[in-house]
Each structure stands twice: as structure tokens, then as C-alpha cells.
Amino acid sequence: MKILTSKQQVREWRKSLSGSLGFVPTMGYLHEGHAELLKQSVAQCDNTLLSIFVNPTQFGPNEDLDRYPRDFERDTQLAKEIGVDAIFYPSAEEMYSVQTSITFDSGEMADALCGKSRPGHFDGVLQVVTKLFHIVQPDDVFFGQKDAQQLALIESLVEAYDFPLHVHRVATVREADGLAKSSRNVYLSESERQEAPIIYQALQEAKERYLQTDSREKALAHAREVISTKTSGTIDYIELLSYPNLKETESASTMILAAAVFFSKARLIDNLIIERVSTHA
């Protein structure tokens, strides 16, 4: 397995390949969620590249850029075991060596959910993903449904701006108790870790209410009640929107029920996609 640190090395490696290239962009500190994306790429593509880059432009001034967990040795070992062909591991200086006045504006899809409490976050995500797609030139890219708003924005970017690649959606990988796997779970205290699966339980119960009553209000009120009474976390948002276009609507054929909850050192997100079966003939 190759470790590539410059854009030039990636370009040369890309040119030397035969067959398709699958690409999995990450911020490292890999867990089984990332492993699932990598396994799907290895199974479906002739070659697989993993990138590990904690992208500064997607972090706000008071966010966890400096303390974001890192373990390159362990990540390398895991990637090797899965059959990854190369890792792109650039520095911030390498990625942002050229200054420009051109910026990204994610528009109104970034006004909902995480975009509300993380202004500029998705502009940074689309910026780095665009750069990575151009450097790597993959045929297939793999993103997790765990970050559903990010996935929706990337699908929109790829479609609207004609990136010649296919975006694969990968279902959220969870701990045995239902907590969505996340590099940020290490920030949880022992008692917060015990409570954290309640977010997923609350979303599941709210989904059932929504399907039974057809009422967004009732579903959201239930999820709010469960999370605020059964955890010590503070709700950032709980929303039920159409998916992937993230509009407030009573009913769309595909909806997303999403939550973000602040614990003392971690902000956790989770979501469920709800497919509504039409009862009309």
C-alpha cells in the first residue's frame, strides 16, 4: 500500500492505474463506519484510494480542529487489512498552496440542519471535496448516510457541476447498542456514552409516530421529549424534512428525521431516512 503526500504523487499514481478507481475521503481516526465505505470500494472497484485530511476550512473558529482525534499508524494498518491500494495524506499547506478569491457557497441546502449551527461548514466541505475529486479523478466515491446533509450536498454538486463520477450512499454503521459510530464518540464521558444510544432510540420511536399519525409535530415533540428527559445532552436540532432536498414539508416520498445533540465535549448527529409508501392507487 502506497502512502502519497503530494498532489503530484497522486496524479502520477492515478495515471499508472488500470481499471476503475474508488475513492473514500475521510478525516481519519478510522472506525467500522469508514471501514464499511472502504470495503464497498474494494469490492466494487479495481483500485481504492483512501484520503486522510482534517480539513481546516470546514471547521468553525470555536470547533474541534486542534483536538480532532488522529492515529495515522492505526489507520494505515486498518486500510492495509481491508485491501486499500493507496492513502493520500496531505498537509494543509499542500492542499491549500494556491490562494484564490473564488469561494464556495452551498446555498439554501446548507441553511437547514447542521448548516444552521455550523455556518460555512458545508462551503468548506464542498471546497475540499472538489479539490480532492480533481486531484484523485475517481470513477466511484463512497460517502456515509450518517452525514446525510453532506451526502445530499455532494450529490447535488456532482450532478449540477458535471463531475464524471458516481456517488455511492453507504448506510450508517452502528455500535451494538445503536449509537452511530463516529470518531467524535471518544469525546464522550462514561455516563454520556451510556446515554448516547437514546438519540437513535428517540429517532426510531419518532419515525413510528410519524408513520402512524402522519404528524411531523407529534413525531418531533416525541423525539424532543425523549432526548431531553433521558439524556444530559442539549438538543441542537431535531428536524423532519424532505430528502435529499431538505425542505420543510408535511410529506414527501422520502423524508429525513435528523438530530444533533451537544454533550459536554462532543456534538453528536444521527438520522433516519423514512420512505413513505403511497397509499393511493
List interacting residues with ligand AMP (CB under 6 A).
Answer: 26-27, 33-34, 36-37, 143-144, 146-147, 170, 172-173, 180-183
228: Cβ contacts below 8 Å, ≥ 6 apart = 235
Which CA distances in Å does 242 have to 2, 227, 280? 41, 22, 19
Which positions are catalytic? 34
Q: Is 214 helix (H, G, I), strand (E, B) or coil?
A: coil
121 vs 181, beta carbon nearer ligand AMP: 181
How does DSSP assign 112-150, residue by residue?
SHHHHHSTTHHHHHHHHHHHHHHHH--SEEEEEGGGHHH
Specify the residue, 203 or 220, whose C-beta has the smaller distance to ligand AMP: 203
Q: How far is the CB of 213 from ligand AMP (least distance, A)?
A: 29
Nearer residue to ligand AMP within complex by CB, 17 or 167: 167
Strands 2-4 and 21-26: unpaired
Question: In the complex, what is the shortest distance from the CB of residue 99 to ligand AMP, in angstroms, rounded to a whole number?
Answer: 25
> Whose grid coordinates read 492515529?
71
Nearer to ligand AMP, 151 or 240 (CB): 151
